[in-house]
């Protein structure tokens, strides 16, 4: 099955896709920003400060999703001895890291008017900070190690160790008494504590952020493939 996803076969698609994804991203982001900043209602308790949720929550979701993907791809590269998995993981990491930083910074900005503080060593915030450190180590390892076999082993180890933190982040609000409220959205159930007038902009902004991570992934993956081909030219 993996032969259909060989870089040589999919490059024709991945090299052309970014411009279409960028176009779609701009459209979805424009709709999302209009909904989030103008059309969606203010909260009865938090007033307009609630609008920060439309960038904070999607950024946190996507950074968690990308790190989980890094761990799965790392396991995949070990099990199937497929180096393309490592290349895909490497290309996903930068956008995951940026989303993690966005979640931390916008969370801090949201914390000031809501909790009266920029930062608290609360379970969820601390575990998100630990995730950012794992992302940092992961990206740094790709820069430090020159040997390909060694860098794949080290980065896979970081991703597999770091993914233990993902369920801790998810359930931290249930396991510990934190400043964060319990989860308002459950993807496994139709019950949600958020009204549709807020859920729709949240969904659109999540779609826009997902498109942005796809865009960065495609550009980064193409860069990595060209790097490999550059080395191939040296060997000719």
223: which 2 tokens?
């860069």
Smallest separation (angstroms) from another protein to the CB of 78: 26
Q: Which stretch binds another protein (CB under 8 A): 63-71, 81-89, 106-114, 124-132?
A: 106-114
Residues 6 or more apart in contact with residue 219 via CB below 8 angstroms: 18
3-state per-residue secondary structure call for the chain? CHHHHCHHHHHHHHHHHHHHHHHHHHHHHHHHHHHHHHHCCCECCCEHHHHHHHHHHHHHHHHHHHHHHHHHHHHHHHHCCCHHHHHHHHHHHHHHHHHHHHHHHHHHHHHHHHHCCCCCCCHHHHHHHHHHHHHHHHHHHHHHCCCHHHHHHHHHHHHHHHCCHHHHHHHHHHHCCCCCCCCCECCCCCCECCCHHHHHHHHHHHHHHHHHHHHHHHHHHHHHHHHHHHHHHHHC
Smallest separation (angstroms) from another protein to the CB of 160: 25
Among candidates 218, 178, 27, 162, which has minimal Cα distance to 154? 162
Among candidates 134, 128, 123, which has minimal Cα distance to 100? 128
Smallest separation (angstroms) from another protein to the CB of 200: 18
Q: Which stretch binds another protein (CB under 8 A): 30-38, 74-82, 137-145, 147-155?
A: 30-38
| Interface pick for another protein out of 1, 3, 4, 12 (rule CB under 8 A) | 12
Cβ-based nearer residue to another protein, 132 or 168: 132
Cβ-based nearer residue to another protein, 47 or 186: 47
Angle between helices 83-115 and 196-235 (to 10 degrees): 140
Q: Is 109 in the site for another protein (CB under 8 A)?
A: yes
Q: Is 202 in the site for another protein (CB under 8 A)?
A: no
- Over the window 50 to 89, marking each residue x when it contacts another protein by CB under 8 A and - when it does not, the resulting string is -xx--xx--x------------------------------
Cβ-based nearer residue to another protein, 48 or 174: 48
Smallest separation (angstroms) from another protein to the CB of 47: 5
Q: Is 216 in the site for another protein (CB under 8 A)?
A: yes
Cβ-based nearer residue to another protein, 89 or 156: 89
| Interface pick for another protein out of 2, 41, 112, 129 (rule CB under 8 A) | 112
Enumerate binding residues for another protein (CB under 8 A): 7-8, 11-12, 15, 33, 37-38, 42, 47-49, 51-52, 55-56, 59, 94-95, 98, 101-102, 105-106, 109-110, 112-113, 212, 215-216, 219-220, 222-223, 225-227, 229-230, 232-234, 236
């Amino acid at each position: 099955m993996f032969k259909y996803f060989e870089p040589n076969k999919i490059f024709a698609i991945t090299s052309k896709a970014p411009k279409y994804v960028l176009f779609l991203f701009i459209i979805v982001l424009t709709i999302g920003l209009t909904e989030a900043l103008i059309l969606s209602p203010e909260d009865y308790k938090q007033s307009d400060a609630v609008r920060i949720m439309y960038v904070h929550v999607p950024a946190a979701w996507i950074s968690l999703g990308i790190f989980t993907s890094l761990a799965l791809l790392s396991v995949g590269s070990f099990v199937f001895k497929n180096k393309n998995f490592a290349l895909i993981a490497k290309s996903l990491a930068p956008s995951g890291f940026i989303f993690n930083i966005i979640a931390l910074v916008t969370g801090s900005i949201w914390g000031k008017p809501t909790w009266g503080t920029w930062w608290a060593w609360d379970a969820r915030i601390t575990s998100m900070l630990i995730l950012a450190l794992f992302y940092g180590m992961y990206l740094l390892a790709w820069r430090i190690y020159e040997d390909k076999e060694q860098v794949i082993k080290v980065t896979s180890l970081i991703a597999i160790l770091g993914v233990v933190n993902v369920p801790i982040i998810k359930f931290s609000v249930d396991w510990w008494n934190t400043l964060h409220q319990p989860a308002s959205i459950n993807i496994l159930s139709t019950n949600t504590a958020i009204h549709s007038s807020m859920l729709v902009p949240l969904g659109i902004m999540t779609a826009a952020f997902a498109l942005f991570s796809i865009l960065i992934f495609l550009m980064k993956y193409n860069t990595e493939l060209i790097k490999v081909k550059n080395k191939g030219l040296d060997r000719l």
